[in-house]
Chain A
């Protein structure tokens, strides 16, 4: 469960202060698939970053499973991220010096006990990369890299997955494949999925669509349950 109260974010650009988020209130129940849409500069990625505790808000608070992450020491925040949040980036952000398998294994090594190798292997197989496990990121196509990134995001079984335009750099076939994997997981293990996108077709598959404009929520529509 994610809760956001009066969230504001401003950045200083020289002498000028730019307000990116101007006061957002949001409640995302566990298991919900939320699509955040909006024009470029509307504050989508910033909101996602604040949800993951990647930056501190100027005002307001973010609660993850009822705990406020504002003012948490950095390492504690890293642990919250490691255990509760899987993050998927538009530009994959794999560690180039580690193999696909090692990339997937890394969050497990960082955040969980026990041997994560079997799980990493299983996840890579489940995203169709069973035969590419020991390849380096540079040896993989964009679609393959993003699937590795998905496996990495799922490896610690986080209750929340945050995805920042995960299909933005991919062709339609690969994009569709990645989206299917995200949605299947949301439906299957009932994790919360917050996905930033420009694409209305992707948003159409979400339970709920939030539209941001100039740092404010201008519409918040929940699809009727089928």
Chain B
């Protein structure tokens, strides 16, 4: 201003202070102005509030629902082992171990012991005994998860094991009744005692994780077993200790590590191992559902940023007026910061209510398909978390538009066009440089946003890897989307410059509109592109995960196992099965050779250092042979043999870890009177659903030739036909034991189906809310159009012309955004699917639909938002100018 002009105060006047301390706008005044503005433009702010509310609602609803779904599913998954953890050993715990185990249970962990042994049982009137697998349990506690389903004498079904199973009763498999010609209510002799058969077992939840014993099942109480006199010193019984953790405080991995430390020679497994397919499915869906939550949040934030940006741009003249009467940027920032906070809070609260509604309604909607109920208590933690996240993301995403307040010049009061002149000409590289120079703070705020988003993502995500990848992916996607949007617009601008006057008037006008001052179109393009990217990425991931889960849960997976088949019986059994109804595929067979481990790498079995592997198991390992990697197995290390005579060994991964075997280890087996020296050439992982999952040591056929073999068989049969088949096998081959896991497999398939439904449903919900938010982004540009429509109308433009101009603009914007989004969605999906161990395929129809759909969305929402503008009376607007 007046530099160089010095005006001396008159002598009589008091001297001016050298530095005048300026006051600043108080928070209360700022709040008053902010609230008044909110009240005056309720319709405009509805977009912001809607965006926040949908984002928060999706976040809380999706997260809450997926959390309770997973909790339900995990509880169901635990029934397959009927525990969280199981420790298998062949001796009683020492006093010290028992003390530590008690300390474990003192913190809320439940424990029960299951004793399994092979014994003889007979009818009281027939002395011919039958080999049975005896399982002693504490009926008051067992099972820790799930229920044993029984059928009593009256043919009524019950799960009340505690009432049925007493010291003087047993419950048995139906096959035992058939073989011994007994009925429920008859007496059975086990050891030196007789017991009344109180019921038959219809379903035993942990059948799959029990050792595959020989003979029909006999369940007996612990006291009952002690009475039988079978528990002698040296008897071949196996102990399984089952644990149920205190779900509020214990983490499965920590608890497992602790248990392994307490019982170093016990074989500890957790429920995740009982069905790798289910665990894998759960892991993937956890990752995916976390991602859906994050996407919901980011989409909400994009909506807020866009609406806030549009709002501030409309306020530019008012900001200029305030500045011209002495308001500093910080004063104005205070008003809008308060306003943002208020909007975040209102939207957040609304979102919390909506989200809780969603969490409540989803189980009701999906009630028939999922074993879920609406939450009983108000999930306060998730509500507060959602609200906090909503407010925080609103503030974060409003940072860049708020920081633009600093750039508003008071001279705008005099001439509006001054602002619009900024950065209009010059080489584009120079303009970018200029922009970067101008907006250092803007870049800084971007960094803050990405860092904070990363933090929120990691906090929200149940899967740390997904959280980190998402934050990194979002950051790079944001940068590249902005870059690509700018590039595409630049290319289009060059095309426009060359073709301008040759294009029809409406098209030319529409394309020129993309370069409207204030550069809104590149922001909308980036926001829309980012939104499309997130939505499509969720879709692609959902498709990939569901596809993979369906492949894993193949309906022809064996659901009936046949144990103890002799070599002579194999052919006959195959013929018999082929004649049965409901059989899918043919009988898979597994040759079993009993053996023991003599030494590993020259160290005798007695001196081997094993990790969580009962030493006694070294004395009874089962060997099998196969020319190639068996179905359902994946190679982990090494390579499969080519020669059938090689002295090679492939070990199941979990056995290799426990016995500390690796490729190159030398193992010597003793089988019969033969010594078999082999070298480990491969380790593998089995999906637990195929017959070869029952063996941990596979050799080429050569070294095992001539040894006595029994066979295990596995086949898939329709659940309804199992009983008929079972009876036919009993009749023809009385020594073959049939283990029916059809009902358990059905449960498993049910899980996969449920995960699929939830993933699809939540992905759909998140995509829908994303579309609404994106629509509000497009709608936020409506206020810029009003003045233009008025001028056009004054010049004689009809509604049709204006409609053509806007439509072309929306279509081009939508197509460009769809293109940017689709490219990056595929890239992001590829990276994330790799993380989740899912194969990626290009989904052309979905990608194409995303591009076209975005254009349609842009046109429809653009029109919904702009329709009223067309009917606006020009004079009303001109009067406001």
Stretch at the interface among A101-109, A173-181, A211-219: A101-109
Residue B96 CB within 8 A of the other chain: no
A142 to B509, alpha carbons, bound, how many Å?
23
Tell me the B850-881 residues at the A interface (CB within 8 Å).
871, 873-876, 878-879, 881
Residue A55 CB within 8 A of the other chain: yes
Known: A55-B876, A96-B420, A97-B512. A79 touches B798 (CB 8 A): yes
The smallest beta-carbon distance between B869 and chain A, in angstroms, is: 13
Residue A91 CB within 8 A of the other chain: yes
Apart from the given pairs A97-B517, A98-B509, A156-B796, 5 other A-B contacts in the complex at a CB distance below 8 Å? A78-B796, A81-B794, A96-B417, A107-B796, A145-B417
Q: Are A110 and B797 in contact (CB under 8 A)?
A: yes
Residue A117 CB within 8 A of the other chain: yes
Q: Are A87 and B794 in contact (CB under 8 A)?
A: yes
Task: Give the most central of B500, B871, B875: most A CB within 10 Å.
Answer: B875
| B contacts with A, residue count (CB < 8 A) | 38
Residue B424 CB within 8 A of the other chain: yes
A-B pair count, CB < 8 Å, reads 106
Known: A46-B875, A55-B874, A137-B417. A75 touches B509 (CB 8 A): no
Task: From the candidates A81, A106, A117, name the one contacting B501 in the complex (CB within 8 A).
Answer: A117
Residue A125 CB within 8 A of the other chain: no
Name the residue on A nearest B425 (C-beta): A139
Q: Are A87 and B795 in contact (CB under 8 A)?
A: yes
Tell me the B643-681 residues at the A interface (CB within 8 Å).
none
A145 to B871, alpha carbons, bound, how many Å?
28
Give 20 A-B contacts (CB < 8 Å), ordered by A residue.
Answer: A49-B878, A74-B799, A74-B871, A75-B798, A78-B793, A78-B796, A81-B795, A87-B795, A91-B881, A94-B791, A95-B509, A95-B792, A96-B420, A96-B516, A97-B509, A102-B500, A102-B501, A106-B795, A107-B795, A110-B792
A interface, how many residues as a size bin?
35 or more
Q: Are B796 and A111 in contact (CB under 8 A)?
A: yes
A156 to B797, alpha carbons, bound, how many Å?
13
Known: A95-B509, A98-B509, A139-B424. A110 touches B516 (CB 8 A): no
Residues of A within 8 A of B795 (CB): 81-82, 87, 106-107, 110, 152
Residues of B within 8 A of A54 (CB): 793-794, 873-875, 878
Residues of B within 8 A of A81 (CB): 793-796
Residue A63 CB within 8 A of the other chain: no
Residue A192 CB within 8 A of the other chain: no
Which B residues fall within an 8 A CB radius of A?
Answer: 415-417, 420-421, 424-425, 500-501, 505, 508-509, 512-513, 515-517, 787-788, 791-801, 871, 873-876, 878-879, 881
Name the residue on B nearest A101 (C-beta): B501
Q: Is the interface of A mostly helix, strand, loop or mixed?
A: helix
Q: Are A110 and B424 in contact (CB under 8 A)?
A: no
A116 to B505, alpha carbons, bound, how many Å?
12
A83 to B421, alpha carbons, bound, how many Å?
32
Task: Give the most central of B424, B792, B795, B798: most A CB within 10 Å.
Answer: B795
Residue A148 CB within 8 A of the other chain: no
Name the residue on A nearest B798 (C-beta): A75
A50 to B871, alpha carbons, bound, how many Å?
16
A98 to B873, alpha carbons, bound, how many Å?
23
Name the residue on A nearest B506 (C-beta): A109
Closest 4 pairs (CB-CB, A-B): A82-B796, A55-B875, A49-B875, A97-B512
The smallest beta-carbon distance between B131 and chain A, in angstroms, is: 90
Q: Are B874 and A49 in contact (CB under 8 A)?
A: yes
Q: Are A75 and B515 in contact (CB under 8 A)?
A: no
Q: Are B800 and A110 in contact (CB under 8 A)?
A: no
Q: Are B515 and A82 in contact (CB under 8 A)?
A: no
